[in-house]
Amino acid sequence: MTRSSVAVPDSSPAPDLSSVASAPGASKPDPILCVKQFRKSFGAFTAADVDYLEIQRHAITALIGPNGAGKTTLFNLITGFETADQGSCLFNEHEISNLRNWQIARKGIVRTFQHTRALTKLTVLENMLLAAPRQYGEKLLRSCGWKWRGQDASNTGKAMDLLDRFSLAHMADEYAGTLSGGQRKLLEMARALMAEPELIMLDEPLAGVNPVLGEAILEHIKDVCAGGTTVLFVEHDMPAVQAISDWVVCMAEGIVIAEGTHAEVGQNPLVLEAYLGGSVPRGTVSVSDSESESQTSAEEPEPAASQATSGNQKQQES
């Protein structure tokens, strides 16, 4: 494993989040991203309404919540793929909510998509090279001529190292369209890393991936974080969240209802209620210990009833 090929800002001290209160809006020792009063409505439906959220630098933060909780909307708002109705988003203490999505990407926030977006008619290597930042030959006038070749060659080396790390090196010259679904997930992650982000945002990196490859992807995510890149990811697979995340943020119906370590969030009654009250079947949500699960199921025998409760909850909090 060659990590040297990827730009490492500085070797990361393991983030200490033990002193952080496990409550929505808790302030972190060294936030890379800070979201304030972020709000997005589609007509009468409020898709996301985040009061205050900090993301710790050099940590792996998981964003969980039932379907329709607004996780992807929050992703889209942060990365500029949707425009917020109001609110601000500070990245390294600079306002980014007024920037276009590609400008945000150049600032150092690179995202992946829930449904992979491999550039199918480009080769795997071209996919990687495309992502390299600050390319000399990407300016139209400079692209005529040969001056960009040196940079492209060194980028190729870097891309091959990354592909090697993600077990895609043998596919480098194939069209990305020939990759399987799981390989596309890997490619998208490798491509995002090629862009040398400070913050990488992964939207369901394990969706549609077999368990073995899933394990590998989790290892990659841990490596990425150890390499100095902050990770924020959305995931439904609770064991995976438990395995790698330093911090868990839970959203439901557009708002952040809980924050904390996995264990803390797993025992939070609001979280359990949000999951069990929603459309997610109980079996798929394996909360940290089975005891708390059985407790809540005793408390909430009627899923339909709890949905109404969580609706009230939202009004109280907002």
Partner 1 sequence: MNWGEITVDALRTSFGVTAAAYALAAIGLNLQFGFTGLMNFGHIASLAAGAYGVAIPLEEGAPLWLALLCGLAASIVVSLFLGLPALRLRLDYLAIATIAGGEILRLILRSRWAEPVTQGVYGIQQFSDSFFDLNPYPTGPTDRIGIGDFSYDGRSLWVMTVCWSLVIIGTLVVWMLIKSPWGRAIKAVREDEYAARSLGKNVFFLRMQSFTIGGVFGALAGMLLAFDRNVNPDFYLVVFTFLIYAVMLLGGAGTILGPIVGAILYWFMFEWLDGFVLSSIQDGWYGEALEESDAGPIRFVLLGLGLVLLIVFRPQGIFGKKEEVLLSDS
Q: What is the dihedral of CA 112, 118, 124, 126, to 10 degrees?
A: -90
To partner 1, the closest distance from the beta carbon of 232 in angstroms equals 14
b (16+ CB within 10 A) / e for 204-222: bbbbebeeebbebbbebbe
Which of 51, 85, 126, 215 touches partner 1 (CB under 8 A)? 126
* Binding segment (CB under 8 A) for partner 1, from list 25-33, 90-98, 143-151, 214-222: 143-151
Choose the binding region for partner 1 from 45-53, 130-138, 159-167, 217-225 (rule: CB under 8 A).
130-138
Cβ atoms < 10 Å from Cβ of 40 = 22
Report the nearest approach of partner 1 to the CB of residue 121 (Å): 5
Question: What residues numbered 78-117 form the site for partner 1, per CB under 8 A?
Answer: 79, 81, 100-103, 105-106, 110-113, 115, 117
- Is residue 282 within 8 A of residue 297, CB to CB? The reply is yes
Q: Is 35 helix (H, G, I), strand (E, B) or coil?
A: strand
By CB under 8 A, residue 208 contacts partner 1: no
d(CA 189, CA 162): 10
CA distance 199 to 89: 14
Question: Distance between CA atoms of 147 and 154, rounded to whole angstroms?
Answer: 13
Question: Cα-flanking dihedrals φ and ψ of residue 81, to 5°?
Answer: -80, -15
Q: How far is the CB of 84 from partner 1 (least distance, A)?
A: 17
CB atoms within 10 A of CB 256: 25
Tell me which of 17, 74, 118, 190 binds partner 1, using CB under 8 A.
118
> Which tokens is 282 given?
């109980």
Q: Does 239 bind partner 1 (CB under 8 A)?
A: no
CA distance 207 to 55: 23
**Residues of span 56-85 touching partner 1 by CB under 8 A:** 79, 81
Region binding partner 1 by CB under 8 A among candidate stretches 26-34, 171-179, 236-244, 253-261: 171-179
CB 83, min distance to partner 1, A: 14
Q: How far apart are CA 262 and CA 284, in angstroms?
A: 16
Q: Quick check: 243 binds partner 1 (CB under 8 A)?
A: no
Name the minimum Å distance from CB 158 to partner 1: 14
Cβ 132 to partner 1 shortest distance, Å: 8
**Shortest Cβ distance from residue 233 to partner 1 (Å)?**
15
End-to-end CA distance of the chain: 47
Q: How far apart are CA 125 and CA 172, in angstroms?
A: 5
Of 238, 284, 245, the closest CA to residue 261 belongs to 245
Least separation in angstroms between CB 106 and partner 1: 4
Structural contact between residues 185 and 217, judged by C-beta atoms closer than 8 angstroms:
yes
Single residue of 67, 143, 154, 180 touching partner 1 by CB under 8 A: 143
Candidates 41, 92, 148, 292; binder of partner 1 (CB under 8 A) is 148
Report the residue number, 68 or 137, with the smaller CB distance to partner 1. 137
Q: Is 172 in the site for partner 1 (CB under 8 A)?
A: no
| Residues found near partner 1 in the complex (CB under 8 A) | 79, 81, 100-103, 105-106, 110-113, 115, 117-122, 126, 129-131, 133, 135-140, 143-144, 148, 152, 175, 177-178, 191-192, 195
